[in-house]
């Protein structure tokens, strides 16, 4: 039953207690895997990286001496696996940062982050927990709106409360 539809998409992430806010508006491809299971694939704009020089040579941090300041990276691929019961979001593709979030209402899910290989040992990940307070999916037969409200945790320290909001325009 694999069918696909190209749709305009707005994906936002907002923190309710920190100054974090991000919005991506783009076209996405919605794949219907089953009656109530979907995959959404979209390309997000590249991150702006700022390389200011070597910590061993602080003089290189001056903007006129750094040729790589504010260099855009390659586009990011976002892949969401959506059902009324759980959502998995994966970002990959640009050799800078990748992540994978797993949300299920009332459950502690795992959020994993992969940083560039020079930051950590190869294949090491940063693992955080998230607790999904509410998750709503609306729209029939195709999803139109997804809202996930969750808390992000590192051990016993809360790293903020977040709202992931996805609108798929038909």
Residue 167 lies in a domain: no
Percent of the chain with pLDDT over 70: 75
* 96 found inside a domain: yes
pLDDT at 65 over 70: no
Print the domain residue range for 28.
Answer: 3-48+69-162
pLDDT at 95: 65
In a domain, residue 125? The reply is yes
pLDDT digits (tens, 9 = 90+) for 39-49: 999 987 665 55
Check which CATH number belongs to the domain holding 15 and give it: 2.40.128.20
Assigned domain for 13 exists: yes
Confidence of residue 55 (pLDDT cuts 50, 70, 90): very low
Tell me the pTM: 0.79
Cα dist from 80 to 42, 48, 139, whole Å: 9, 23, 16
The total number of structural domains that make up the chain: 1
Which range is least confidently modeled, 57-66, 103-112, 126-135? Answer: 57-66
Question: In the chain, what is the greatest distance between 2 CA atoms, to the nearest angstrom?
Answer: 59
Q: Is residue 126 part of a domain?
A: yes
- For 125, half-sphere exposure in the C-beta direction (CA atoms, 13 angstrom radius) is 12
Domain for residue 170, yes or no? no
């Amino acid at each position: 039953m694999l069918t696909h539809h190209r749709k305009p998409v707005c994906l936002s992430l907002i923190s309710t207690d920190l100054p974090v806010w991000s919005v991506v508006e783009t076209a996405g491809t919605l794949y219907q895997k089953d009656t109530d299971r979907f995959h959404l694939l979209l390309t997000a704009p590249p991150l702006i990286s700022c390389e200011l020089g070597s910590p061993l040579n602080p003089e290189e941090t001056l903007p006129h001496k750094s040729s790589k300041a504010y260099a855009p990276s390659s586009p990011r691929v976002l892949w969401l696996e959506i059902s009324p019961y759980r959502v998995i979001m994966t970002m990959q593709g640009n050799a800078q940062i990748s992540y994978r979030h797993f949300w299920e209402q009332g459950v502690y899910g795992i959020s994993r982050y992969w940083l560039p290989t020079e930051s950590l040992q190869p294949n090491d990940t940063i693992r955080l927990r998230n607790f999904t307070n509410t998750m709503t999916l609306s729209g029939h037969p195709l999803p139109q709106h997804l809202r996930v409200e969750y808390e992000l945790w590192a051990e016993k320290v809360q790293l903020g409360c977040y709202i992931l909001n996805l609108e798929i325009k038909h």
